[in-house]
Amino acid sequence: MDSNSSNTPATAERPDSAVIDASIKVPVLFFLYAAAAWLVTASVLGFIAAAQLVQPAFLADYAWTTHGRIVPLARNALIYGWGFNAAFAVLIWMVARLCRTPAPKWGTTLVGGLFWNVGIKLGLTGIIIGQSTGHVLLEMPGYAAAVMFVSYGIIGAGVAIIFSRRREGSMFASQWYGLTALFWFPWLFTIAQYTLVFGSMRGTAQAVASAWYGHNIYALFLGPIALGALYYLIPKRVGRPITNYPLAQIGFWSFVFFGSFGGLATLVGSPVPAWVQTVGVSSNFMLLIPLFAIAVNLGGALLGGTKAGGSGPALKFFKLSLVSFIIVGLLTVVLSLPSFSHTIGLTFVGEALDILHWYAFVSFAFFGAIYFMLPRLIVQPWPSGALITAHFWATVAGTIIVISSLFLAGFAQGAALNDIENYATFADVMGAFSGYLVALAFGYLTLLVGSLAFFVNVVMAIYQACFSKSTASADTVFGSPAAMEVNS
Amino acid sequence: MNRGPYLFLGAFAILAFSWTAAILANQLGYGAVTPHYDSLAGQAFPAKHPGIVERGAQVYTDLGCVTCHTQQVRRADIGSDLARGWGERASVGRDYMHESTVQLGSNRFGPDLRNVGARIEDPNVFYQMLYAPAEDSAMPAYRFLFDEVKVVGQVSDDALNLDAPTGYQIVPTERARSLVAYLAYRNDTYAYPETNFVPTEPEAESDDEAAETEEGH
């Protein structure tokens, strides 16, 4: 691959951007609405689950709302509801823009999107009424998975059609990430359903398959799409292209290769073959390579940016997302060292790392991308600057509180579990860390406030787009990228 | 990397490799593990689960008990599992071979349940825990697994010795019975040939754990 400037996305908006945006506007706005609605749902469920840790009697009288069902509901709503819908929106828009190709038609993609969300609702209902399969991120019963699989195929075919008609010859880093993720998910999903839901592997091989799949939803789908969005939008937003493309290539291939084994590291100490655990831990160490490559690529663009007015919400979320990506990469390595992993295994630290991956890195990248793309799609600024501010600060504060309380709880829990002299009974162990769980519930409540602000803003924006006709193009409405993000 | 086919070929190779190593290799490696036939005892271990235990496993799965309870005893050099009496030995893969849904779990918000049937022998203790957990317990009550039945004439044989409003008795549902049967069945005591290679006492600093353990036994 040559590293001349034609390989980086042009920093100026193409003249045909408005046509491309108009061709995908309806399905993308639908995905954004669905994503924001699921985010609120997931935040409510997350808060209920955290409150139940503090107050076990809360909503415990019905099987439907018992803690063991609320937790998978919250997790599935967050990943398949918010994460996937947001990923579809970002992916469709990014691929159409980078291929400089309008979508031939949007009706089928919209139908696929509707059925994807019907599938999730079926699946969550299945969990509520007691049909959970019991495997992390595969709890939804098989019939719901079948609906999701077919609708994913329809949505994915729409993206593939745009790609096959592309007018832009070169492929950018964002497309490597986005298109390969698009291709990997159905494969991963099929393997997982076949080995765990429709068929069944024997014994603890199930645990290996489950850990492999659960982590790859991050490492081979949501993570790559988030990185794709960062690779596309950070250079665009700061007006400085990615300069070192060979490094981007190394970053891409090593991230997906080593990332695909990362889930196995969660099985340290479990009754699975020792080599499985070793492969997982060593892959986590090898992830330092893409961590370095990606940090240099994106950090370089951020630090060397020239464009003024770089303070919109999109850029703030991109910066925090990149910082979280670096933090979680380093923490994963440090916590894989035996002196740590023997303490934090089977504690809340695992959940803390998950929230770092899914929320602080992936979701922040999606938030930034949505703040950037939605005004361009509706050719109007965001309806409320105050709601943007509320969403940003509540989300940042909530994420920090949730992650730090989970880490503190997990370390105290692990230390107490290993210290049998001072914490002889399980009630003693609980006493060592239950205080942090109050902070956790408060953190989830803060996240809920942020999600509501975001949801209201998205709904208002879509409402505006439907009921106030604007014939102007983005170029005439907005002077600068920053002007598109805030309603000034 | 400007050409789609190379990208997809690479993407295919990566997932194919990851799948081969993580899924296929394990399936071939121990996916076909068989029970161990003990000629002295005249039976194979682990034994197949009775029907009520299998139904209890479904209750355990659909209520999401795995959210707070693990079912795995780790080696002595990794955690305090053995010291806490959560098992006589570390769990091995073969222990799980008859389980339709393996529920290893990832967070110990509650105690490990792999051998809870060895620790608690009286089923009434399980019923008590599910109906009205101890004051200092973080576990919710599972009242929906019990029926509050008006006493008409004699008290039912199935009624539990639990705090009931006057004139009422507490009767476990079929789901509660299955769940308790499942919990009472959690007991891995049989020593397979491979369990002798798992350290049961914390080892001194050593590079060759397997050799040390063999000497130790």
Read off the pLDDT of residues B78-91 as tens digits, 9 standing for 90 and up. 889 999 999 999 99
- Return the domain boundaries, chain B: 36-201
Give the CA distances from residue A449 to residues A31, A167, A475, A485, in Å, rounded to whole numbers and listed in that order.
21, 43, 34, 20
Determine, yes or no, domain membership for A279. no
Q: Out of A292-296, B127-131, B199-203, which region has the weakest mean confidence (pLDDT)?
A: B199-203
Torsion of CA A12, A15, A20, A22, to 10 degrees: 110
Q: Across the interface, do A260 and B18 touch by the CB < 8 Å criterion?
A: yes
- Report whether CATH 1.10.760.10 matches the domain B36-201: yes
Portion of chain A with pLDDT greater than 70, in percent = 92
* Interface contact A212-B18, CB threshold 8 A: yes
Q: Is residue A295 part of a domain?
A: no
Identify all chain B residues contacting A57, using CB atoms and an 8 Å cutoff.
140-141
Contact assignment for A271 to B142 by CB distance below 8 Å: no
Taking CA–CA distances from B99, the nearest residue in chain A reads A203
Nearest CA-CA distance, residue B109 and chain A, Å: 7
Whole-number CA gyration radius for chain B: 23
**B217 CB-side CA count, 13 A:** 15
Please, which residues have CB within 8 angstroms of residue A199's CB and are 6 or more apart in sequence?
none
Three-state DSSP at A104 gives coil
Q: State ipTM.
A: 0.90
Separation in Å, CA of B30 to nearest CA in chain A: 8
The answer to whether residue A148 sits within a structural domain is: yes
> What is the C-alpha separation between A115 and A110, in angstroms, rounded?
9
Range of the domain at A108: 12-169
Q: Which of B110, B123, B95, B103 is nearest to B57 (CA)?
A: B103
Q: State which amino acid sits at residue B45.
A: F
CA of B2 vs chain A CAs: smallest distance (Å): 5
Q: What is the tally of structural domains in chain A?
A: 1
* pLDDT at residue A476 greater than cutoff 60: no
Q: What is the dihedral of CA A365, A224, A99, A111, to 10 degrees?
A: -80
Tell whether B34 lies on the interface with A, counting CB pairs under 8 A: no
pLDDT over 90 (residue B3): no
Q: Is A34 exposed, middle or buried (0-12, 13-18, 19+ CB in 10 A)?
A: buried
Closest CA to B190 of B121, B84, B105, B88: B88
Q: What is the pLDDT of residue B215?
A: 41
* Model confidence band, residue B162 (pLDDT cutoffs 50, 70, 90): confident
Cα-Cα end-to-end distance for chain B: 58
Nearest to A175 by CA among A8, A360, A369, A305: A8
- H-type alpha helices, A61-204: 67-76, 84-99, 107-128, 142-164, 173-192
Measured CA to CA, the distance from residue A208 to residue A212 in angstroms comes to 6
Q: How far apart are CA A463 and CA A455, in angstroms?
A: 12
Confidence tier at A396 by pLDDT (50, 70, 90):
very high
Per-residue pLDDT band at B135 (split at 50, 70, 90): confident
**Integer Cα distance of A336 and A284 in angstroms:** 8
Q: Looking at the domain assignment, is residue A139 inside a domain?
A: yes
Pick the residue with more confidence: A245 or A305? Answer: A245
- Check CB contact under 8 Å for B104 and A260: no
DSSP tally for chain A: helices H, then strands E: 19, 0
> Looking at chain B, which residue has its C-alpha nearest residue A170?
B2
- Is the Cβ of B4 closer than 8 Å to some Cβ of chain A? yes
| Distance (Å, whole) CA A357 – CA A475 | 36
pLDDT in the model for residue B212: 42
In chain B, whose CA is at the least distance from the CA of A425?
Answer: B84
Q: Nearest by CB to A68, from B64, B84, B95: name it.
A: B64
- Residue B126 to residue A250: CA distance in whole angstroms: 55
B interface mutation test: which of A8, A206, A349, A355 has the most B CBs within 10 A?
A206
Average model confidence (pLDDT) for chain B? Answer: 87
Distance from CA of B178 to the nearest CA of A (A): 15
Instruction: Find the helix packing angle between A288-303 and A274-286, rounded to 10°.
Output: 20
The rounded distance, in Å, linking the Cα atoms of A427 and A120 is 37
CA distance A132 to chain B (A): 5
Tokens encoding B125: 């203790």
For residue A108, is it within any domain?
yes
Give yes or no for B168 touching A (CB within 8 A).
no
Residue located via tokens 């019939």: A143
Query: Which of A104-108, A291-295, B1-5 ranks highest by mean pLDDT?
Result: A291-295
Residues 6+ apart with CB under 8 A from A309: A480, A481, A482, A483
Angle, nearest 10°, between helix axes A84-99 and A17-54?
A: 160
How many angstroms separate the CA atoms of A354 and A70, rounded?
17
A61/B143 touch (CB, cutoff 8 Å), yes or no = yes
Contacts of B140 in chain A (CB under 8 A): 52, 56-58, 60, 66-67
B5-30 pLDDT tens trace: 889 999 999 999 999 999 999 999 88
Interface test with B, best of A66, A174, A287, A351 (most B CBs within 10 A): A66
CB of A38 closer than 8 Å to CB of A82: yes
- Residue A467 falls inside a structural domain: no
Q: Are residues A82 and A35 in contact, defined by beta-carbon separation less than 8 angstroms?
A: yes
Split at pLDDT 50, 70, 90, the class of B160 is confident
If you average pLDDT over residues A249-268, what whole number do you get? 95
Q: Do residues A222 and A362 lie in contact, with contact meaning Cβ atoms separated by under 8 Å?
A: yes
> How many CB atoms lie under 10 A from the CB of residue A133?
24
Residue range B152-160: mean pLDDT, rounded: 84
Mark yes or no for CB contact A1/B104 under 8 Å: no
**Are the beta carbons of B138 and A417 separated by less than 8 Å?**
no
Stated pTM of the model: 0.92
- A interface test, pick of B6, B8, B23 with most A CB neighbours within 10 Å: B23
Contact between chains at B79 and A418 (C-beta distance less than 8 A): yes
Q: Is B84 on the interface with A (CB under 8 A)?
A: yes
Q: How far is B156 from chain A (nearest CA, A)?
A: 24
Nearest CA-CA distance, residue A457 and chain B, Å: 34
Nearest residue, CB atoms, A134 vs list B10, B66, B84: B66
What are the residues whose beta carbons fall under 8 Å from the beta carbon of A115, sequence distance 6 or more? A147, A150, A151, A154
Query: Is B37 in CB contact (< 8 Å) with chain A?
Result: no
Report chain B residues whose CB lies below 8 A from the CB of A276: 22, 26
C-alpha span between A451 and B116 (Å, rounded): 41
